[in-house]
Copies of this chain bind each other. A is one copy, B any other.
Amino acid sequence: MEEAVAGRATRGRPRSERARSAVLEAAAELLVSGGIDAVTMEAIAARAQVSKATLYKWWPSRAHVMLESLFSRTRHTTEIDESAPLEEALVSQLSLVTREFRETETGPLMADLVAAGQADPDIRAALDEQWLRPRRQITTRLLRAAVERGELDPGIDLAAAVDQLFAPVYYRLLLGHEPLHDDLAATLTGQLLNGLRTGLRTGAAAPKG
């Protein structure tokens, strides 16, 4: 009798999972093979064997397709050990992002999404909420805990500090004036924690060999 339970839902034909995943794959493939300009709604539809009507029904713009494509394949870069020593935890977090940007298509995807965000506030908001903010929050939590433990100066500007760790990674991704090399995570962390001045070093972090 009950019946009522939960899952009632859908009248009519349910959304096609085939279409959804084909679209996300097509978008990623097009991006990798032809750059951002190759990722047109037209091309996605053709490659995914999906009609444009379906495309526009579920995604309002190509940037939204790319956003979902990005999120659907990278959720794991927030998984770090927050109980590790501060410097180690920070380096670990930065390393994950740096390596992913350098070694997978997440790098170009992210760069193009930041670019798309300049013309579309929705993109910008989605990027912030679903990607940047979660990562910044972890870092902020790590730093705040260290302040409370007495490791860090209580007068520091947390938001600015977080940016001094992360911003260079995105900056290089977008401008390309310097590579995202392996030591970057440790260098950024060490220089920020210890400062650049002579004689301030604790010995914990001598960047770059």
Contact = CB atoms under 8 A, between A and B. Distances in A.
Interface of A: 35-37, 111-112, 114-119, 124, 127-128, 132-133, 136, 143, 150-153, 155-157, 159-161, 163-164, 166-168, 170-172, 174-178, 183-184, 187-188, 191-198, 200-202, 206-209
A200 B198 contact: no
B111 A118 contact: yes
Contact of A136 (B124, B177, B191, B194): B177
Contacts of A207: 155-157, 160
Given A115-B119, A163-B171, 4 more contacts: A112-B118, A156-B196, A156-B207, A194-B197
A157 B208 contact: yes
Contact of A168 (B163, B177, B206, B208): B163
A195 B206 contact: no
Nearest to A146: B196
Give the secondary structure class of A's interface.
helix
A183 to B, nearest CB: 8
Contact of A175 (B117, B152, B197): B117
A124 B136 CA distance: 27
A162 to B, nearest CB: 9
10 nearest A-B pairs in the assembled complex, by CB-CB distance = A195-B195, A115-B115, A167-B171, A167-B167, A163-B168, A115-B118, A167-B168, A194-B195, A200-B200, A164-B164
Contact of A177 (B133, B172, B202): B133
A170 B175 CA distance: 10
A158 B58 CA distance: 47
A124 to B, nearest CB: 6
A98 B119 CA distance: 21
Given A114-B115, A197-B152, A128 B202 contact: no
